[in-house]
Amino acid sequence: MLAAAPQYQQPHSVPRRLCNVPKAQASGAGGPEAEAGNALLSKLGALAAGAAIFFGGYTTGIASSSMVADVRTAESHRQEITAPAPASLPVKPVSLALPDQAAKETVQAAQQAGLAADELSTIRVFQANTPSVVNVTNIRAMQSYYSMDVERIPAGTGSGFVWDRQGHVVTNFHVIKGASEVKVTLLDQSTYSAKVVGFDPDKDVAVLQLDMPEEARAALQPVSLGSSTGLMVGQRVYAIGNPFGLDHTLTQGIISGLGRELSTGLYPIKNVIQTDAAINPGNSGGVLLDSKGNLIGINTAIADPTGKGSSSGVGFAIPIDTVKGLVGQILQYGRVMRPSLGVVIAPPQALQRIGEKGVLVLDVTPGSPAERAGLRPTSRNAAGDLILGDIITSVDGAPVASARDLLEQLDAKRVGDKVVVDVLRGGRQRLSFSLLLADRVLGSGTE
């Protein structure tokens, strides 16, 4: 288990902290590129790639802090409307469609009790959105040590929310990772089995399909989608989730920062929202709402330098504008389509040794955009001398100094986009290639 460092590793980058109840474990593994690189570079006399660190399985209990290295692991899979102005002071009650008569009576009772306007506003937001928030239970099949029988054990719980009336629920990937079965409990305590429709581990998003009768689906209350564009530091936000198994808990705070970055692999989550609203283990997958009750983010992580698994006042939410695109692709294709050049990249040590910046092409996938464009892989000549492949130095004019830079450039593109790739060949010749990005096959080890 890696202990999270209390300090930041880079600007706007934080020690990542899983917010579901189970414990996250860190393990070492080499990524597909590292394996390919080791195999070929060992023959070419180059350095081997280093091991990557990733989140492994987890058990019940509070998670301890872990850091995720920015290197893809062998088991990593590759699968993103104008924001309201910040609430003015004093806060005026907002008009929200309340879910049922009981909720209306609650607000009426609050009004009769003479509560302040901002208190009434908070109550309205909670009452209107509580039916949309669900409890997600990760169940794993485990073999008994004594009887050898296979038992189904709840491995942990997290939060999620209703996306539409077709029975789709959105949550964090780490909440359902490794589950043999997923159970979802609604506000009325009815529980349904859920099938995993698709997920994106790098962006920590998963979509579930509830197995429920048609009439029950019609009664679902989807969350009201907002936008993470135009948010401002200081505006009020609310978090609803199931921290420590305490269902439908409301906390409030403000947006403490914008444009943060979380790293779950080689593809970082950009424009993450930072909030001081209390987020604890079990809040993962829950909603972050603006003062009008619109969804602006998915609560996913906390900075926890103590390792005690409790809120430090620094929580992070995936912006809803990113989530919309990811969920849309998952519902349409069953996965997230990642654009690819079709190259296997060498470990960074290969270029460090010769003092060049960029990304060395180790191999080129047959039939890929890179092969059709004419990019050259690393090889040996007839005399056995090592011939370095093309070194990618920029994509569409944006400098590429590392694998992370390359992946960030690709992550901003879509399958079918035309890009211009600049390379250094033979240490002297600079060339440009125009190619159409293809769909990246999961687990292929290519970029």
Q: Does residue 406 sit in helix, strand or coil?
A: helix
Residue 281 CA to residue 63 CA, distance in Å, equals 7
Q: Does residue 95 sit in helix, strand or coil?
A: coil
Residue 324 CA to residue 294 CA, distance in Å, equals 14
Set 70, 204, 304, 405: catalytic member: 204
Strand partners, 28: 53
Active site residue 77: no
Q: Residues 307-339: pLDDT tens digits?
A: 766 677 899 999 999 999 899 989 988 888 888
**pLDDT value of residue 39:** 43
Strongest mean pLDDT among 30-34, 151-155, 275-279: 275-279
Q: Residues 416-443: pLDDT tens digits?
A: 889 999 999 988 889 999 999 988 765 4
**Which run of H or E residues covers position 339?**
strand 339-340
Q: Residues 348-380: pLDDT tens digits?
A: 887 877 778 889 999 998 989 999 999 999 988
Selected residue with higher pLDDT from 2 and 209: 209
**What distance separates the 2 farthest-apart alpha carbons in the chain?**
90
* Phi, then psi, of 107 in degrees rounded to 5: -65, -40
Question: CA angle at residue 440 from 436 to 442, to 5 degrees?
Answer: 175
Name, in order, each residue with C-beta under 8 angstroms of 263's C-beta and a sequence gap of 6 or more.
Answer: 13, 16, 68, 70, 269
Active site residue 204: yes
The stretch 410-414 carries a mean pLDDT of 83
Active site residue 174: yes
Q: How far, CA to CA in Å, does 253 sit from each of 48, 81, 235, 436, 442?
A: 47, 22, 8, 45, 39
Q: Residues 237-264: pLDDT tens digits?
A: 999 999 988 889 999 999 999 999 887 6
**pLDDT value of residue 338:** 84
Average per-residue pLDDT for the chain:
76
Name, in order, each residue with C-beta under 8 angstroms of 337's C-beta and a sequence gap of 6 or more.
Answer: 329, 414, 415, 439, 440
Set 64, 70, 76, 174: catalytic member: 174
**pLDDT value of residue 382:** 84
Question: CA angle at residue 345 from 431 to 413, to 5 degrees?
Answer: 70
Residue 63 CA to residue 52 CA, distance in Å, equals 20
Q: Which of 51, 46, 71, 40 is nearest to 363 (CA)?
A: 40
The answer to whether the CB of 121 falls within 8 A of the CB of 91 is: yes
Question: Which region holds residue 167: left if phi is over 0, alpha if psi is between -120 and 50, else beta?
Answer: left
Using the predicted structure, report yes or no on whether residue 35 has a pLDDT greater than 50. Answer: no
Strand partners, 295: 225, 289
**pLDDT value of residue 104:** 67
Set 65, 76, 284, 340: catalytic member: 284
Q: How do beta strands 418-425 and 429-436 pair?
A: antiparallel
Taking the mean position of all CA atoms in its chain, how far away is CA 11? 19
Name, in order, each residue with C-beta under 8 angstroms of 204's C-beta and a sequence gap of 6 or more.
Answer: 172, 173, 174, 262, 264, 269, 300, 318
**Tokens 């062998």, located at residue:** 74
Q: Which of these ranges, 35-44, 81-90, 136-145, 408-417, has the smallest mean pLDDT?
A: 81-90
